[in-house]
Structure 1
Amino acid sequence: MDRIIDIVMAVSALVISVSFHEAAHAYAAWRMGDPTAKLMGRITLNPIKHLDPVGSVALPVILSLMGLPAFGWAKPVRVNPANFRELRKGDIIVSLAGVMANLGLAIVTGLFLRLLFLSVDGRQTFSALQLIWRMLPFFITFIYLNLILFVFNLIPVPPLDGGRVVSALFPHSYQAVARHFQAASLALLIILMVTGSLDSFISAVVRPLFIVITGPDVLNAFIQMRYGMG
């Protein structure tokens, strides 16, 4: 039963996170002059508008069943850079909007938990607020997942957001080459992620970010609650 709950929490956290990510892309594109995503109804937090059956549901469930971190994606937002008022600036801002949304979600959730622990002693707080106590694993998963999406998508390889930023900074000839290898690059990154080859790098960045955002009390409380340690 606990395994099922863990999977539901992981998939729910992913769906919320990728929906915010894509909605941020859509909103940024609209603000930069491109109405394409807005006309397609993508400036919304409604997950149904963003879900990809494979990337948002099937893959994270399979990864969770395999004991691997839940990971996935939503339907990419369609953008027409030709509509941007400033092409290079628009490319960069729209590309960064998604990852900044994920970082923002992690920070807001982390600050909420920090304030909760600072209000009174952590154990007493969660004894008084049973719902929050039961939701702590979800909050932990949610923060970690958003930080993973933040770090992973900033890898400067197309078609990831980091790759698009790099492409926008380079001449058009580089962009043409980058677009040609987008599918192969993404497939390689997914393979490396699933096999754990990128795990050490991402963990090395995500773990200290998590501690900075939440403080050590939150993680210690989670470990003590889940594993009876601490």
Structure 2
Amino acid sequence: MDSIIQSIAIYALPVIFAITLHEAAHGYVAKHFGDLTAYTQGRVSLNPIRHIDPLGTIVLPIVTMLLGGILFGWAKPVPVNFSALRNPKQDMMWVALAGPGANLFMAILWGFVIKFALGLPQDGLAEPLILMGEAGIKINVVLMVLNLLPLPPLDGGRVAVSLLPPRLAYNFSKIEPYGFMILLFLLATGVLGAVMGPLIAITIHLMALFFGFATY
């Protein structure tokens, strides 16, 4: 029981930051390119309450963390009216990439937290900061890799729609209503973990080399 509470305490802050900045980044970039939908609904915000989905942000990450599988979850998606963007097909790519880009940025920041903690006396705040930094890197890398998968409505799917020729993009976008069910099927069958696992491991290993800490 104590280990469960400790794990939740370590992961809580990194998860909240990860989903909040991911979604806020989508809204901010959409606003930059002309769509004020998220802004008018108060979703271009660092207030986590505006982005939390009780099931996807709290329950599912805790369950998958305790089961030892891929840390999985989601936040309330930021509304984007792609037709309001100045160049919808082109700008959609940048709006989509903003979320994974925010996760990469946060993973790097958590890497600096670990580097800072390694220089502290090891009998104080060092260990909890290192554990939280490791959790921050893990959750942000997982979210980045997951969202870059080329499956609508994931960010990678929207990037693919943006890059494909119009007819192919239209046909590919028809997958979107079924994308979430496909994702859950891939998760349940282990395919999602098999695809994401090596990508996550390589990314974390490269970050560990860069910041000079051991992989975990």
- Tell me the equivalent position of 1:226: none
User: 2:105 aligned with 1:104, yes or no?
Assistant: yes
- Does the Cα contact within 8 Å between 1:30 and 1:38 map onto a contact in 2? yes
Give the counterpart letter for 2:203 in structure 1: L
- Residues in 2 aligned to 1:135 and 1:112: alpha-carbon distance in whole angstroms: 7
Give the counterpart letter for 2:141 in structure 1: L
- Tell me the equivalent position of 2:47: 46
User: 2:76 aligned with 1:75, yes or no?
Assistant: yes
- Tell me the equivalent position of 2:148: 154
- Residues in 2 aligned to 1:102 and 1:195: alpha-carbon distance in whole angstroms: 26
- For structure 1, the 5+ residue unaligned runs are 224-230
User: 2:122 aligned with 1:127, yes or no?
Assistant: yes
| Most deviating of 168-177 and 100-109 | 168-177
- Does the Cα contact within 8 Å between 1:154 and 1:163 map onto a contact in 2? yes
User: 2:202 aligned with 1:208, yes or no?
Assistant: yes
- Residues in 2 aligned to 1:190 and 1:101: alpha-carbon distance in whole angstroms: 24
- Does the Cα contact within 8 Å between 1:14 and 1:72 map onto a contact in 2? no
What SS class does the counterpart of residue 65 from structure 2 fall into? helix
**How far did residue 8 of structure 1 move?**
3.8
1:185 maps to which of 179, 182, 187: 179
- Does the Cα contact within 8 Å between 1:11 and 1:70 map onto a contact in 2? no
- Residues in 2 aligned to 1:12 and 1:185: alpha-carbon distance in whole angstroms: 29
**How far did residue 11 of structure 1 move?**
4.4
Give the counterpart letter for 1:21 in structure 2: H
2:213 maps to which of 195, 201, 218: 218
Q: Provide the alpha-carbon RMSD of the alignment.
A: 2.1
Larger-Rg structure: 1
- Tell me the equivalent position of 2:6: 5
CA pair 81-150 structure 1, distance change in 2 beyond 3 A: same
- Does the Cα contact within 8 Å between 2:42 and 2:50 map onto a contact in 1? yes
CA deviations 1:74-105 (Å, max 9, x no partner) are: 11111111221222221011010000000110
**How far did residue 155 of structure 1 move?**
0.9
- Does the Cα contact within 8 Å between 1:114 and 1:214 map onto a contact in 2? no
TM score, norm. by length of structure 1: 0.84
What SS class does the counterpart of residue 213 from structure 2 fall into? helix
CA deviations 1:76-135 (Å, max 9, x no partner) are: 111111221222221011010000000110012113323543xx5xxxx2426x223223
- Tell me the equivalent position of 1:228: none
Q: How does 1:14-29 map to 2 (within 5 A)?
A: 14-29=15-30
- Residues in 1 aligned to 2:77 and 2:184: alpha-carbon distance in whole angstroms: 16
- For structure 2, the 5+ residue unaligned runs are none
**How far did residue 16 of structure 1 move?**
1.9
- Does the Cα contact within 8 Å between 1:14 and 1:70 map onto a contact in 2? no
Aligned length: 214
Give the counterpart letter for 2:136 in structure 1: F
CA deviations 1:23-56 (Å, max 9, x no partner) are: 0000000000111101111111111000111111
- Residues in 2 aligned to 1:113 and 1:61: alpha-carbon distance in whole angstroms: 23
- Residues in 1 aligned to 2:134 and 2:111: alpha-carbon distance in whole angstroms: 9
Q: Percent identity?
A: 33
- Residues in 1 aligned to 2:168 and 2:69: alpha-carbon distance in whole angstroms: 35
**How far did residue 190 of structure 1 move?**
2.5
- Residues in 1 aligned to 2:148 and 2:68: alpha-carbon distance in whole angstroms: 25
